[in-house]
Structure 1
Amino acid sequence: MTRVWGLGLLLALLLPLVGTSMPGTVVRLNKAALSYVSEIGKAPLQRALQVTLPYLLDQSGETLQPTRIQIMNVHVPRLRLNFVADFGVHLLAAANFNFKVFRVPEPLELMLPVVLLADAHVAQGPIQTPVVSISACYSLFGNASVPAGSNSTSPALLVLLQKHIKAVLSNKLCLSVSNLVQGLNVHLGTLIGLKPVGPESQIRYSLVNVPTITNDYISLDINAVLFLLGKPIVLPVDTTPFALPHHAGTQGTVATVGLSQDLFDSALLLLQKAGALNLDITGQLNSDDNLLNTSALGRLIPEVARQFPKPMPVVLKVRLGATPVATLHTKNATLQLQPFIEVLAVASNSAFQSLFSLDVVVNLSLQLSVYKVKLQGTASVLGDVQVTVASSNVGTIDMDQVHTLIGTVFEKPLLDHLNALLGIGIALPNVVNLHYTSAKVFVYEGYAVVSSGLSYQH
C-alpha cells in the first residue's frame, strides 16, 4: 500500500466520487483539491521514485569493473497538478536525486535534477469504478553535479555516470508511475463495496458514466443503491436525473457533494421497510412520575378507571405504516412522520388489552452534518404534535385532555429513538481511507450540498 499511496493518492483524491443518477449524488473536486494533493503527495512520490539502479560496467585497463550506484534520497520540492478538460490530470514534478557511487578508493556523491511529466487519463472501468491510465510520461534530465566540498572527479567519469543514470531512470521512473496507477485502480475499486447502514441494510455506490472533467474540476456520476436483506430499495415513482448547480456550496471548497431528494427518499423508505422507526414506549410502574399506567389514564378517561381499579402498566406501540417524508427547501430541511399508536394495558392475567389507538402526525426540523464519511442528522419537533383517535375500546375520549398526556410520554422517546438512528448516519460516496473534513451542509430546494475538505488517512 505504501507504493500505491504515491501517485496513486495524488490521483485518487482527484477522483473520489460523484453522481447524477437515480437516486443521485454529485461530487465535484475543484482546483483547491489540487493544492492539497500536491502538498501531501510530495513525500510518497519521493519514496516511489527511489528506484534501484544496475551496476555500471566501467572498463578500466584491460578488465571490466562493476560500479554500484545507489539513490540515497529523492527530494521533490515542486509538484503541480492540473485538470485537463475532457481527459484527466497532468502532473509536473521537479525532483532532485542524490546518488552515491561506490568507487575505489573513495565513494563519490552526485546530484541530478529531473523533471517528471505525466498525463493520466480518467475513464469508467468495467466494474463501474473510475479507472486511471498513464497515456504519456517523460523524464527531463538536468546536468549532474558534485556537492560542494566533495572529492572532485574527472569530467569524463561524470559524463559516463550521467549517461548511465539517465538511460536507466528514463524507463524506470515512468514504470514506477504506471505501477502506482495500477495500484490506484485497485484502491478505487473499493468504491463499489457495500457500506453498512444498519444491521440488515447496506448502501452501494457505482460510477454510471464517464467522468466529466473541465479545466476547473472533475466530477463523477454515481448511482446509489440501498439494500435491505440483500434486496434493493426501489422508489415507487420514477425519478429524474440529478444535476448539481454550479453555484451550490462554498466557493473555493475542496469537495462539493450534492445529495438529491431521491437519496433522502430512498433512505427513509429503507428505514420504514426495515421497521427501524417502530418502537414500544413503556414506563416504570412504581415510579412517582410514571404517566404510563392505567391510573394516569383513568383520571382522564373514566372507562379506563372502571376497567382497571388497580394501577397497571400501559404500553404505547408506535408503528410507522406510512413512509416518512423529507422536504428540502432553501435553508430548511423538515421531516414528517405519521405513526400509528396503539395504547395497550396489561390486564391481570398479563395479557395485553387494547384501550384505544391514535393517528399521529409529527413535523420535525432536520439538521444535517457530516462525520468522516457519514451524513448524519438531528431532529427536533416543529410545532404541536397532531393526534386524532382512530379507534376506542374505552368509550368517548376527550382529546384536549389526552393530547397533553400523549405528547408528554411520546415525544421524548420518539426523538431519542429517531436521533439515535440519524446519528448512525449513511455513508457518502468514498474510497477506503478517504474522509471528509470540516464539512458544512447547505440545504437548497430539492437537494442538499456538502462543502468539505478531504483527508487521506494512510
Structure 2
Amino acid sequence: MLGMWSLLLLWGLVTPCQGLLEKVGTLARIDKDELGKAIQNSLVGGPILQNVLGTVTSVNQGLLGSGGLLGGGGLLSYGGVFGVVEELSGLKIEELTLPKVSLKLLPGFGVQLSLHTKVGLHGSGPLGSLLQLAAEVNVSSRVALGVSSRGTPILVLKRCSTLLGHISLLSGLLPAPLFGVVEQTLFKVLPGLLCPMVDSVLGVVNELLGTALSLVPLGALGSVEFTLATLPLISNQYIELDINPIVKSVAGDVIDFPKPPKPIKVPPKEDHTSQVVVPLYLFSTVFGLLQTNGALDIDITRELVPSNVLLTTTDLAALVPEALGKLPPGQQLLLSMRVKEAPSVTLQNGKATISIPANIHVLSYPPKGTPEALFELNVVLTLNAQLAPSVTKLHLSLSLERLSVKLASSFAHAFDASRLEEWLSDVVRVAYVPKLNVDLDVGIPLPKVLNVNFANAALEIIENAVVLTVAS
C-alpha cells in the first residue's frame, strides 16, 4: 500500500494555472479557508479530543515506569539523585482545549498543518499532593494530497511532531528538578498521543473529500457519476479538482453525449473564495436525457390550455383558412409535438439559452370520431433559462423567448405558416413550458466538496460554462 501511495505522490501535483479548461468536466476550486473549517469542525463536538484523554504516566507503567526513564538502569533510576520521582504517579491528560488550526498549502505536495492546543494534566505529586499542570503544545504535521485506491482525493499524514511550549504548575508541589523530568516525559509521550489525533482529523476530512465523487440520481432520467479526471492540483491558496461526469441511463449504461468543441476559459479565482465551474456538457446531458426519454414530447388538447387560448378549427380558420379544407367549424384541435433531436444549449455573455427543434402535427379532434390530420409544422423554440443554485444542484426555470415555424406538409393547401407563430407561442407558453419546468426539477447536479454550500453563490455565465463563487 505504501508503494502505491509513493507512486501516486511521485507523479507530482502540479500547480493550477489560470486559462483554458481543456476537458468538459466540472472544475472545483476549494479555498484553503474551507479546508481549515473542515479540520476545525472535525474537532468540535466529536470523539477525537475525548479519545486523547487518559493516563500518560504512572509509577509502574509508561516512561516513568520500570522500563522507562526511572526503571532499573534507566537514566533517572530509583537509585539516582531523583529517587523522589517515584512519588510522581498517575499523570493523566484530563483536559485538551480545542486546538487552533493553522495551515499552509504546499504547491506540488499538500498541506503543512499546525494544531495549537493546551493540555491539562492531573496526577499525584510528592507526598501524595494533587498535582495539576498545564502545557502548551503545537502539533506540526506535513500532509500529502493524493488519490486513494477508490479514486477519491485523500490527505495522508507523512510526518508529525510536537513542540512543547510553556508548562505551568497550577496546583501542588513539584521540586524544580522534576520539571525537567516532566518535560522529557511529555516530549516523549505527546507525539504518540496527539499525532493519532491528526490522523483522526484527516479521516473525517477525507470522508468529506470522498463525497465529491459520488452517484447523483436524476430521477427517471438516469444518473451522473462524478469521478476524478486527473490528479488533484494544489496552489498556495486552493485545491483544484477536475471532476469528470459520467452519464448513465436508468439501466446503468454509460451514455456519451457530444462534447463542446472549444475548451472553457476559466476566470481567475479570488483569494478566500471557492468555485465550481459547471460545464456546458452537463446542461446538454440533462436535455439530451429528457429528449431520449421522450420527456420533451407532448400532446396538447383543449384540457391543457385555459379558456382564453383558442384551440378549435373555428379559431384556426381565422388565421389560415386554406389549411382546413372542408372541415366544419367548432371542432377541437390536437397538437402532437415530438422532439426528435437533442436540444442545443448556449451559455455565453451572461445568458443561458435552449433551442428545441420539434415537429408539430395539427389534427382536428371530433368528440366522437377519429382525429384527422390537417398539416405538419417544423418549429424551433428558443427559451431563456433562469439559473438558481442550491446546495446540491443548479435549478433551471424556462420561459419562451420566441418561436419560429415553417410548414412541413399540408393535407389541404399550402399556406404561410408564419401567420401561426403568435398563436402557437401562446399555446406553448401555457401548455408546454410549465411541463418542461416540472421535468427540469432534476436540475444540473453539483459535486459536494468539503460541505461547501453554493446555495448563495454568485453566479456568472461565461462561454460554455457557469461559474459559482462563494466567499469562505
Q: Which residues of structure 1 form unaligned runs of 5+? A: 1-18
Q: In the alignment, does 2:392 pair up with 1:373?
A: yes
Amino acid at match of 2:194: L
1:298–1:305 contact (8 Å) kept in structure 2? no
Query: Following TM superposition, by how much is the alpha carbon of 1:170 offset from its aligned partner in structure 2, in angstroms?
Result: 1.4
Distance in 2, Cα, partners of 1:318 & 1:49: 64
Deviates more, 1:173-182 or 1:392-401: 392-401
Segment of structure 1 superposing worse, 294-303 or 63-72: 63-72
Structure 2: which amino acid aligns with 1:113?
E
Hey, what's the Cα distance between the residues in 2 that align with 1:287 and 1:305? 27
Tell me what 1:88 maps to.
110
SS in 1 for 2:362: strand
Q: Deviations over 1:280-319 (max 9, x none)?
A: 323239974352233433444546484345x444332222
What secondary structure does 2:271 align onto? Answer: coil
Shift of 1:337: 1.4
- Give the conservation status (yes or no) of the 8 Å contact 1:77–1:95: yes
The amino acid that maps onto 1:359 is N
> 1:24 aligns to what?
25
In 1: Cα distance, 2:40 partner to 2:57 partner: 35
Give the equivalent residue in structure 1 for 2:316.
297
Is the 8 Å Cα contact of residues 142 and 159 (structure 2) preserved in structure 1? yes
Aligned twin of 1:440: 458
Using the alignment, how far apart are the partners of 1:253 and 1:64 within structure 2?
53
Q: Indicate the larger mover: 100-109 or 428-437.
A: 100-109
**Match for 2:160: what amino acid?**
C
Matching residue of 1:393: 411
CA distance in 1, matches of 2:234, 2:46: 24
Q: Helix, strand or coil: the match of 1:372?
A: coil
Tell me the distance in 2 between the aligned counterparts of 1:181 and 1:37: 10
Counting only pairs closer than 5 Å after superposition, residues 354-373 of structure 1 correspond to structure 2 as 354-373=373-392
Q: Residues 253 and 325 from structure 1, CA distance in 2 versus in 1: closer, same or farther, beyond 3 angstroms? A: farther
Task: Choose the corresponding residue for 1:307, options 313, 327, 340.
Answer: 327
Query: Could you report, residue by residue, the CA deviation over 1:200-237 in whole angstroms, capped at 9, with x for unpaired residues?
Result: 31111111221111223221222111112222221346
Pair 32,54 (structure 1): closer, same or farther in 2 beyond 3 Å: closer
Secondary structure, counterpart of 1:362 in structure 2: strand
Structure 1 pair 39/186, CA: closer, same or farther in 2 (3 Å)? closer
2: distance between equivalents of 1:187 and 1:102? 42
CA distance, structure 1, for counterparts of residue 44 and residue 175 of structure 2: 34
Shifted more, 59-68 versus 328-337: the winner is 59-68
> What is the CA-CA distance between 1:134 and the residue it aligns to?
0.6
Counterpart selection for 2:100 from 66, 69, 78: 78
The reply on whether 1:116 has 2:116 as its aligned counterpart is no
Q: Which amino acid aligns with 2:198?
A: V
CA distance in 1, matches of 2:21, 2:305: 56
Alpha-carbon displacement from aligned partner over 1:107-148 (angstroms, at most 9, x marks no partner) = 43221110011111011233321122111111111243123x
Q: What's the secondary structure of 1:436's corresponding residue?
A: coil
- Per the alignment, in what secondary structure is the counterpart of residue 437 of structure 2? helix
Unaligned runs of 5+ in 2: 1-19, 61-77
Range with greater deviation from structure 2 (338-347 or 294-303): 294-303
Alignment of 1:396-435 (within 5 A): 396-399=414-417, 401-431=419-449, 433-435=451-453
- 2:261, 2:418 → 1: CA distance? 42
Deviation at 1:40, TM superposition (A): 4.6
With the length of structure 1 as denominator, give the TM-score of the two structures.
Answer: 0.81
Per-residue deviation, 1:429: 1.8
SS of the equivalent of 2:303 reads coil
Task: Give the paired residue count.
Answer: 429
